[in-house]
Every structure is written in structure tokens, then in C-alpha cells.
Amino acid sequence: MKLKLKIWKQGDAHSRGSFVTYDLDGVAPEMSFIEMLTYLNETLIGKGEEPVTFEHDCHEGICGSCGMYINGYPHGPVKGLTTCLLSMRNFKDGETIVIEPWRAKPFPVIKDLMVDRNALDKIQQAGGFISVTTGAAPEANTIPVNKKNSDLAFDASVCIGCGACVAACKNASAMLFVSAKISQYALLPQGRPEGKERVRAMIAEMDRQGFGSCSNTGACEAQCPKQIKLFNIARLNREYYKAF
């Protein structure tokens, strides 16, 4: 496959960026998007040019580091996939692909396509945990858990914190991320004791980081590679009101 890649290049958060166009020949359809970019970098290094900076790690859709905005879609045009799992089969020979970094005030560009997603970690650190005394792990099955809730909690817990929800949202809101983190605890008995403090602290931190409000538009749900559902945000809202 032959591709025209229009990629955002930017030195750091404070410098001005611009698009650079690369013509890339010899892309195999079975490559993943990340493999394609690695191949691009190999050819650039071979020519003595500066490679494109982008983040990637696990290549199996669980670390959440590989996010980029591809042709108007966070993580590309296929639903339920991270960029690393996106196959080049989904693109046509000769196609122009525009690649941009996540755009949000709380996500400053580190370099090119790599952004600083520390803001999400800050929210998590504000309350996305349960306090347990250390020692021998207690027998998990002594606390009965409703099956439906445990399934819903599991579905919420698969959030990988990639930031695609923020990238997709017209308001750069992190509500889907926060709602997943809140839900995975709110639905289980272990999460209840600190429920009120958790939701208040996480929302306060979300505001401090400068994320927008939720317009219930659903772009986050449409783009989430882990298919976290919008009704988690309704649960987050309920939890927040109950916390006062």
C-alpha cells in the first residue's frame, strides 16, 4: 500500500506545531497502525530525518498509551479498537491519513503526537482507590456481591485511561473516564465506605484540571475503545448528588 500521511509535528508544549506530509510506500495491509508508524520512522531514520514521536507500549489494547486522532476519529475509524489494534486493512491504497494529537487543555503536547495525560492520573489519585489494611489477602468470597452489579462494575473497570473520551468530546470533558472509575467502586460493597469522599474529590480534581462539562452528546461512548457506556455518567451524577 502507498499512503500519504499528514502528521502533526510539534517540538514541545510551548512551540508552534504544523502538519508535515510524508509519502510512505510498502505498507502491508496486515500491519497495525502503530507498526505502520514504526515503519515510517525506520524509513525517516534511514534518510537521516527526524522520526515522528508517538506513544505505544502493550500493542494489545490494555495500556492506553497509543491514542491519536486519525482522520477525525480518536483511535481511528473502527469502533471498539485502540490505535495499536487498528489494522491497515481499514485504509485504502493511496489514501491520505491525517493524524493529530489529542486536543484538550489538560493534555498539553509533549512532542508531535504524544500528549501528557497526567491530568487523568491526578483524578485517579484524588479518590480512585479503596483503603485496605495490608496483611494477608482476605477470602474474596466472604462478601456477597450481586452478579448484575459485579458485571456492570467489571464493564466499567475495563477503562484503560487512554483519554479517547476527552479527545472525542466537543467539550474535552473527562466525564466518561471519571464515571467508569466511580462506577467500578460504587457498584461493589468494597467501594461503598469511601463512596462520598471519592466522588467529591474526583469531580473537584476533574474541574481543577480544566476538563469541560458533559453535554450528553455521546461522542465519548462512540469512540471508547473499551465501549464504556454513557449510563455510567448518569450513575456518576447520582453518586455526586448523594454525596451532599
Which residues sit at the interface with ligand FES, rule CB under 6 A? 56-59, 61-66, 82-84
The reply to whether 168 sits near another protein by the rule CB under 8 A is yes
Rounded CA separation 151/226 (Å): 14
DSSP-derived letter for residue 186 is: H
Which of 156, 152, 155, 165 minimizes the C-alpha distance to 64?
165
- Cα 179 from Cα 216, distance rounded (Å): 13
Number of residues binding to another protein, judged by CB under 8 A: 49
CB of 23 to ligand FES, least distance (A): 26
Q: Which is nearer to another protein, 26 or 154 (CB)?
A: 154
Residues whose CB is less than 8 angstroms from the CB of residue 6 and which lie 6 or more positions away in sequence, other chains included: 19, 20, 21, 96, 97, 98, 99
Residue 133 Cβ, how far from ligand FES at the closest point, in Å?
Answer: 33
27-35, 38-46, 133-141, 170-178 -> range binding another protein (CB under 8 A): 170-178
| Beta carbon nearer to ligand FES, 13 or 58 | 58
- Pick the binder of another protein from 61, 67, 106, 161 (CB under 8 A): 106
Alpha-carbon dihedral 167, 184, 232, 74, rounded to 10 degrees: 20
CA distances from 186 to 81, 145, 177, 239 (A): 26, 12, 14, 8
CB atoms within 10 A of CB 189: 12
Q: Between 14 and 47, name the residue whose CB sits nearer to another protein.
A: 14
Q: Does 72 bind another protein (CB under 8 A)?
A: yes
Is residue 177 a contact point for another protein (CB under 8 A)?
A: no
Q: Is the dihedral of CA 63, 69, 72, 76 positive or negative?
A: negative
Is 83 one of the binding residues for another protein (CB under 8 A)? no
Residues in the chain: 244
* Residue placing its CB nearer to ligand FES in the complex, 61 or 74: 61
DSSP annotation of 244 reads -
Q: Taking CB within 5 to 8 Å according to partner kind, which of ligand FES, another protein, none is near residue 103?
A: another protein
Query: With respect to ligand FES, which residue has the nearer C-beta, 38 or 237?
Result: 38
Among 73, 91, 177, 185, binds another protein (CB under 8 A): 73
- The answer to whether 53 and 111 are in contact (CB under 8 A) is yes
Where on the chain is the footprint of another protein (CB under 8 A)? 8, 19, 69, 71-74, 77, 79, 98, 100, 103-106, 168, 170-173, 175, 203-204, 206-207, 210-219, 222-223, 229-231, 233-238, 240-241, 244
